[in-house]
Structures are given as C-alpha cells and as structure tokens.
Amino acid sequence: MHEPGLSEPPDGLIGGYKGGNLTVRILMIVFSSIALYNAIELFILLFLTFQHYRGLYFWTLLLSVVAGVIPHTVAYILEFFSLAPLWLALTLSTIGFYVMVPGQSVVLYSRLHLVVQSHRILRFVLWLMIVDAILLLIPTTVLTFSTAYIQTTPFIRGYNVMERLQLAWFCAQEFVISGIYIYETVKLLSLMPEKDRRRSKIMYELLAINFVIIMLDVALLVVEYIGYYSLQTTLKPMVYSIKLKLEFGVLGKLVSLVQTQRSQPTSTEHEEYPGFVDPSQLTSDVTRVAPPNRAREWNNISMESLATSERRIRPSTRDTDSPHLS
C-alpha cells in the first residue's frame, strides 16, 4: 500500500479513501465497528453501573464515549467513503478528537488522587493537560482545515508533521500519568502487610491494566509512524474505546480494595461504608478523595483516602468521619 510523503495530503483526507487495497478497507470497517460497539456498550454500562451521575470520573467517561469515540468514528467513515460533505466529516472528527484523546488523560487524572500523596504532583499533571491541549489542539485544527481547503504544500507538510507530533505528545502525556500511577501503586505495595495476599493480587492487577494501556498507545504510535494514515485514524477510536473499557476494570479493582478493607475485623463498634460502594453496584464519584498521609498504615490507606462526603455510617453508630481534605 502506497502512503504519501509529507508534501502530499494523507490518503482519505480529501475526496475519500482512494486506495484499492481491499484488506485496508475491511480493516477500516472492522476497527470502526469495534469502536462503535465498545462505545455503545460503555454508554449502557455507565448508567447501569453508577448510582449517582456526578463526579469527574463519571462525566469524563460519559463525554469520552458520547462526544469522543462515537463522532470521531462516524466522521472517518463518512470521510473515507465519501458519504457526507467534507466540512461535516472534518467538524465531527475534530470534535471527537478534542474530547476523546485529551479526555483519556483526564480519565487517568481523575483516579490519580486515589494513590498520589502529593498535591504538587496533582497540580503538575493538571497544568500539563491544560497547556498541552492548548498548544496541540488549536494548531492541528487550523492545519487540518487548511490542508483540506487551501491545499498548499506548506499547510500539507505542516499538517503531516503536526498530526504525528500531537498523537505522540498525547501518548507521552498518558505515559507520564500512567507512570506516576504505577510508581505510587508500587510504593503502596511496599506498605502492605505480607499476609494480605488478596489485596496484593488486586494491586498487581491494577499495574497490569496500566501496562496494557501503555502498550495500546505504543501500537497506535507504530501504525502512525509507519505511515498508514487511513488505518491509524480508524484504529485510534478502537484503541481509545478499549482503554475506556479497561477503566471499568480499574474501577472494579479499586472498589475491591475498599471491600477488602471492609471485610477485615476491627476493634471498633461500627463499620464504615464508602459512599461509592454498594453491595451490588458501584457508585459514581471515586475521584473526590484526599491523598493519603504517608504516616498512615496500609490498612487505613484505601478508606482514609476517600472523601468524607463519600462515606455513610450505619444508623446505629455516631459520625466519626474525619474532616475532608480537599
């Protein structure tokens, strides 16, 4: 399959996909179908899984699906197969990219509070996402529409370079956030009692999920830099939909950690239940948490890191919640 150089517009960006490779066309349809299936499934699971529809974690996941994966996938189907005007396809793909790609970083950030103990690190990650979005999204959008409608060599070269740069940059940003999460999780493992094998297993599973997310980004980068634009743009929403589904795995493991704490015998006369944990369901806001104190023992970390507003005490007990640190 011939792929154009930096001075030629990517195949499919203007006038639809012109390549005659049937395998590529089939793969484009397969990738897009999987992405749409995952998005629809996630949309349904969100409302079946969360009791309360609030919180950064919930809304970021919802927007990433509804305003990210779905419009981005549909846009490239319309564009590559010339099923709609170019302006409509470009607008949908741009909106989808804005929400889907930076949105993945926000999803990662929204659960970073559960393990990170430093407010400085959290602020650094937040500003990193804001600055990167401004520096990358605006130039890419201008170059995309300029390449499609002006079609001069400087704009085409600029788009080809920027399109590769912004994907690599956002992937690097996700590497940083996942790396921080993995590093802090390993630190928590060192505080864990040796006898607590179930909790150790859960933490290692969390690490594995984060490594899988990183590997998916690497695979996407490889396809991008090989030069297969048409495959990369349809593979991208599939990869991001898979990463969003893995977030449900992360959420389930975090809830399991809290449930493990609940199952441990205590010397107190009351039992605390995190507000986002239900015996049969998960609840919404797992992000409103305060970073754990370094001096606390492991057995208190998962419970103490939850926000006071996210707990409920059995009616027979008095309120012993500590002040919410936020």
CATH topology of domain 22-262: Rhopdopsin 7-helix transmembrane proteins (1.20.1070)
Q: What is the dihedral of CA 64, 66, 67, 73, to 10 degrees?
A: 90
Comparing CA positions, the residue from 273, 289, 272, 276 lying closest to residue 117 is 289
Q: In Å, how far are 72, 194, 223 from 87, measured between CA atoms?
A: 14, 59, 26
Q: Could you give the CA distance from residue 200 to residue 263 in angstroms, rounded to a whole number?
A: 15
- The full set of domain ranges for the chain reads 22-262
CA distance between the termini of the chain: 54
Cβ proximity of 251 and 282 under 8 Å: yes
pTM, two decimals, is 0.74
Instruction: Read off the tokens for 37.
Output: 């299936």
- How many Cβ atoms are within 10 Å of 187's Cβ, its own excluded? 13
pLDDT in tens, 246-266: 877 777 676 666 555 545 544
| Residue spans of alpha helices (H) in the chain | 22-49, 56-63, 70-80, 86-110, 119-149, 153-190, 197-226, 229-263, 298-304
Amino acid identity of residue 210, one-letter, is N
Please state the rounded mean pLDDT for residues 3-15.
69
pLDDT reported for residue 259: 57
For 318, residues 6+ apart whose C-beta sits below 8 A from its C-beta are: 270
Structure tokens at 147: 């390449």
Single-letter residue type at 304:
E
Residue 88 has pLDDT above 50, yes or no: yes
Nearest-CA neighbor of 308 among 297, 293, 324? 324
d(CA 134, CA 44): 32
Mean pLDDT along residues 56-61: 88
Q: Summarize pLDDT for 92-126 with one digit per residue, the tens.
A: 999 999 999 998 899 888 888 877 878 999 999 99
Does the pLDDT at position 267 exceed 50? no
Which comes out higher in pLDDT, residue 297 or 29?
Answer: 29
Residue 255 has a pLDDT of: 65
Give the pLDDT confidence score for residue 13 in this predicted structure. Answer: 73
DSSP 74-91: HHHHHHHTT-S-HHHHHH
- What digits encode the pLDDT tens for the residues 167-221? 899 989 988 998 888 888 777 777 765 556 767 777 777 788 888 888 888 888 8
Q: Rounded to 5 degrees, what angle do the CA atoms 295, 297, 298 make?
A: 125
- CA distances to 72, 181, 241 from 248, in Å: 21, 16, 11
Q: By the 8 A CB rule, do 147 and 9 touch?
A: yes
- What SS3 state is found at 299? helix
- Orientation of helix 70-80 relative to helix 22-49, angle to 10°: 160
Residue type, 108: L
Asked if 92 contacts 145 with a C-beta cutoff of 8 angstroms, the reply is no
